[in-house]
């Protein structure tokens, strides 16, 4: 039993070290910036969203091969059961959507398209809560608690503000969290590179 606990802690420690390079935050910031810009009316950033999904794995590996692995090495940790993770994500997304729709439906004014757009920042914040909670379990990195507070309270704050047109509230919220995550990612990356200098490869001379 103790061996399993130690193995879990070792895996969590390795994942926590890997998460400190700031890549997750920078990718989130880029995604939310493109999402916010897509509401500007030009739609020029919309094609970038599916491209992120298609090339996400290659972007992550290229970044970490260039900046992360030369500093901390590369450790292969056991993958979790993808089916269990997938089921958990589907259940959580379904629960968030149900709470979101019911909250608007029973709220003053009933359910309308404009009210759904107005309160969508709260829905996004709740959805991100699940992702950050999962990341806490996987890495033990308590900084994710700050991300939960910022995204949820930011969502509530922007939803309570009055915007005309109403979609500007959602756009400003996405821009707000994009800037927040980009700054957080860059800060973590700088701290990571200073704390873990690149390992020098011995020459053959």
- Is residue 184 one of the residues assigned to a domain? yes
Q: Give the model's confidence band at 36: pLDDT under 50 very low, under 70 low, under 90 confident, else very high.
A: confident
Residue 20 has pLDDT above 70, yes or no: yes
**What gap in Å lies between CA 185 and CA 181, rounded to an integer?**
6
Q: Give the model's confidence band at 77: pLDDT under 50 very low, under 70 low, under 90 confident, else very high.
A: low
Q: Is 118 exposed, middle or buried (0-12, 13-18, 19+ CB in 10 A)?
A: buried
Count of domains for the chain: 1
- Is residue 202 one of the residues assigned to a domain? no
How many residues are given for the chain? 205
| Tens-digit pLDDT profile for residues 144-158 | 999 999 999 999 999
- Is residue 200 one of the residues assigned to a domain? no
Residue 182 has pLDDT above 70, yes or no: yes
Structural domain span for residue 138: 2-195
85: nearest Cα among 149, 15, 134, 27: 134
Query: Cα 129 vs. chain centroid, distance in angstroms?
Result: 9
- Is residue 205 one of the residues assigned to a domain? no
- Is residue 44 one of the residues assigned to a domain? yes
Quote the pLDDT of residue 203: 47
pTM for the full predicted model: 0.82
**What gap in Å lies between CA 76 and CA 10, rounded to an integer?**
12
Local structure of residue 45 (DSSP, 8 states): T
- Is residue 201 one of the residues assigned to a domain? no
């Amino acid at each position: 039993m103790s061996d399993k606990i130690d193995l879990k802690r070792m895996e969590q420690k390795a994942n926590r070290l890997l998460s400190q390079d700031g890549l997750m935050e920078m990718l989130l910031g880029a995604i939310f910036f493109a999402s916010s810009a897509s509401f500007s009316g030009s739609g020029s950033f919309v094609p970038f969203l599916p491209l992120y999904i298609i090339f996400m794995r290659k972007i992550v590996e290229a970044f970490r091969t260039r900046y992360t692995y030369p500093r901390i090495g590369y450790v292969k940790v056991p993958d979790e059961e993808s089916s269990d993770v997938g089921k958990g994500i589907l259940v959580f997304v379904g629960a968030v959507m149900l709470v979101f729709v019911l909250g608007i439906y029973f709220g003053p004014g009933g359910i309308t398209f404009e009210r759904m757009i107005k309160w969508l920042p709260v829905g996004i914040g709740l959805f991100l809560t699940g992702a950050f909670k999962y990341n806490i379990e996987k890495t033990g990195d308590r900084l994710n608690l700050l991300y939960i507070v910022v995204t949820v309270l930011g969502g509530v704050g922007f939803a309570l503000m009055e915007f005309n047109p109403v979609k500007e509230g959602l756009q400003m919220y996405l821009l707000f969290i994009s800037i927040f995550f980009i700054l957080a990612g860059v800060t973590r990356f700088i701290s990571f590179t200073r704390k873990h200098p690149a390992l020098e490869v011995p020459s053959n001379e």
